[in-house]
Structure 1
């Protein structure tokens, strides 16, 4: 009877080890994906940072990168703890999972609050930034960001193309809008602001930029929910394995 119970115990422990190893592999891959998204966000979309008076955009990218690194390291610790059957290392692993889970909840709440503030800032400040800083000395990053924004999102002006009428640069120029407003950009193409020549988008670039930032939040949210679900599963497996393992002499 005792031998049978020991055999069942061993089978249960082995199954839990394999399940936890599988979880850690998935968790490690998820961390790599989060890290990749963070790096992509920072490298490909960093031009828009100069248009925002908030550090939210760059901060969200760095949060993703940091989260990816932490998840990868945690996954490695989990694999070591599982393979070596060290209860002390399993406790460290469980604490790390719990900390990341709590941080995700805090980050989610802060992201929602920050987005509301960012939305107000965009409405109030993007028009002024585009009118007063575009093509001005020392504002090369803003100029580059505006041109990229208008071309990539196929928009013109903060709310519409008429916003450029009050631009400091346009007033001393023969163009009505920047050349980046044109559907087919070329030198001096901004002299004609007909809908056949430039982008006429209802809501302008503010709406497009808001949609983009919101989509980034959805990515953050989806990644957070996915990892949070994995963590709950991982914590459950870790607790079960901890209970099934013999006392670790170390």
Structure 2
């Protein structure tokens, strides 16, 4: 649950730069599984202390649901891990040049600025990508050739000068940086999902053993 919330709260800016929702869905699944885990934990304690077979049956079903959710999160993370590179190459540049500083696209603008500052990069592939930007071509940039977030020392209108001494010139651009970041995070989501799922298997085995050891309840 913590990993899912961390992804959605701290890394949500980058989700808006992705065309696929699998990254966000994986995080939501972890959050949902976390909520069910808390409910299941309370139910499991009650079932064990009161030695109620009916409660144990419900507990087992909930463990099974958690197991399936965690496996699903892990599988989705693995699938998206395989698709991520192609998606970024196909969509990141278009998102940046078409939506940056455009009406009702503030979330994209903030995500791009954060991306370029946090990863010290400029443009999708390189800084020249910004020459194709709607923001630059329509003159909305106030003579800037790149956003101010490309600057090594960000300040108003610093994006007027496209020079390595002033802006970040990173080989591979922001695509390489973002791809590496998300891939590492997908590994974490997948590991947490599969890891917790394995724990649920142990829980289900112990539940079955306890269930069989209890006497049947009178109806």
Length-normalised TM-score, structure 2: 0.89
2:108 aligned to which of 142, 148, 157: 142
1:45 aligned to which of 3, 8, 11: 11
1:101 is aligned to 2:77: no
What's the CA shift string for 1:126-148, capped at 9, x where partnerless? 11111122112232221111111
Equivalenced residues, count: 216
Distance 1:102 1:58, change over 3 A: closer
* 2:217 equivalent in structure 1: 248
Distance 1:142 1:123, change over 3 A: same
Query: Unpaired runs of 5+ in structure 2?
Result: none
Query: Unpaired runs of 5+ in structure 1?
Result: 1-33
Greater helix fraction, Structure 1 or Structure 2: 1
What's the CA shift string for 1:18-71, capped at 9, x where partnerless? xxxxxxxxxxxxxxxx2x222222122222232222222322222121111011
CA positional deviation for 1:162: 1.6
Where in structure 1 do 4 or more consecutive aligned residues deviate above 6 Å? none
Moved more, 69-78 or 167-176: 167-176
CA positional deviation for 1:248: 3.0
Whole-Å Cα distance in 2 between the matches of residues 103 and 66 of structure 1?
A: 8
Larger of the two Rg values belongs to structure: 1
* 1:198 equivalent in structure 2: 167
1:159 is aligned to 2:125: yes
- Structure-to-structure mapping, 1:1-250, within 5 angstroms: 34=1, 36-171=2-137, 172=139, 173-249=142-218
Length-normalised TM-score, structure 1: 0.79
The answer as to whether partners of 1:54 and 1:118 remain within 8 angstroms in 2 is: no
